[in-house]
Amino acid sequence: MTDLPVIARKEGRAGRITLNRPKALHSLNQEMCDLMIEALLAWRDDDAVELVIVDHLEDTRGFCAGGDIRMLQDSGKADGKEAQAFFAAEYRLNTLIEEYPKPYVAIIDGVTMGGGVGISVHGDVRVATANTTFAMPESGIGLFPDVGGGWFLPRLDGELGQWLALTGARLKGKDVLAAGVATHFSEDATGLAAKLADEGLSALDGLEQSAEGSFAEHQSEIDNCFGKDTVEEIISCLEGGSDWAQKQAETLKTKSPLTLKVAHRQLREGGELNDFRENMKMEYRIGSRMVCTENFIEGVRAVLVDRDNDPKWVPADLASVDEKLVDSFFAPLGADELTFL
């Protein structure tokens, strides 16, 4: 077995990419992004490759648990350049997947969060399993739901995207299919990648393609409350709702106030865009700045370093998040902004 964090090879009809960083639940680093880009570009015009399959090393519980957050924090404490380089590679990969001319199949068996969502949800086929746990948990560490979150989240049914982005709610198993994050569901995906490589997309025949989510009973409250124009209005609406809605409000009060306001605007603006690349440029502007904030550095400290889960957010509350501060994350970076795509 190779020591490389991504195993890329041709197998049968397919180009196969297997994530191979098990101790980190296959969380993405820049080397992994570069290796995936290299493979996808090599196979794009290769007539022997009919489809691309992305999975992870067997017997590990994560498909891809996110990105290299500790590196982002370290870079943010310095000059932010390493973080910017990572975002550039990761977003270039997300864009390549979204625009890929051949079927791209991701088998999201296990934990699929953050960066793992970015290398799956933009593909044509996403197969969830009974082991799948999906989340965009960035509001809990002071980051934001990037990797194309501004594009795919507002395009889910109703206001599911805002709910998932702001609360960091986790979807499991068939709920991932019901939400539209997955396109197919297989109780057990053992052997599916090999079958796809041998048979092509016909290997998906018989897999479930629709389900009713456990969140369905709350859909009307999600749509009503998370469709409000401000985060403050969202929380007020939830506080006046059911016990479930009130729990969502309490959850939001623990999240980064800055992230909540940035993410709310990100999804609103992303939902209005017609070009995926424009969305990724927006997210690059946000990410390049957010990793250097005291807010993000503190969020990572509290959740991933000291693990006291008691972040002292900066600004401390929603009322203290000035609109000019939010605007600053969306402002143009300048001519070099375009170089990552």
146 catalytic? Reply is yes
Asked if the domains 6-132+173-204 and 216-340 are classified in one and the same CATH topology, the answer is yes
Among 5-9, 58-62, 261-265, whose mean pLDDT is lowest? 58-62
The domain 216-340 is placed in CATH, from the list 3.90.76.10, 2.40.30.40, 3.90.1150.10, 3.90.226.10, at 3.90.226.10
Residues 146, 159, 283, 298: which is the catalytic one? 146
- Quote the pLDDT of residue 322: 94
Q: How many CB atoms lie within 10 A of CB 205?
A: 7
138 catalytic? Reply is yes
Fold of 6-132+173-204: 2-enoyl-CoA Hydratase; Chain A, domain 1 (3.90.226)
pLDDT tens, residue by residue, 112-142? 999 999 999 999 999 999 999 999 999 999 9
Q: Where do the structural domains in the chain lie, given as residue ranges?
A: 6-132+173-204, 216-340
Residues 68, 90, 98, 138: which is the catalytic one? 138
pLDDT tens, residue by residue, 199-234? 999 999 999 999 999 999 999 999 999 999 999 999
Mean pLDDT of the chain: 95
- Quote the pLDDT of residue 129: 97
- Quote the pLDDT of residue 1: 57
pLDDT tier at 58 (50, 70, 90 boundaries)? confident
- Quote the pLDDT of residue 316: 98
Residues 76, 115, 287, 299: which is the catalytic one? 115
pLDDT tens, residue by residue, 237-280? 999 999 999 999 999 999 999 999 999 999 999 999 999 999 99
SS (H, E, C) 69-138: HHHHHHHHHCCCHHHHHHHHHHHHHHHHHHCCCCCEEEEECCEEECHHHHCCCCCCEEEECCCCEEECCH
- Quote the pLDDT of residue 219: 98
Query: What's the pTM value of the predicted model, to 2 decimals?
Result: 0.96
**Confidence check: pLDDT of 3 > 90:** no
User: How many helices (H) does the chain have, and how many strands (E)?
Assistant: 15, 10
327 catalytic? Reply is no
66 catalytic? Reply is no
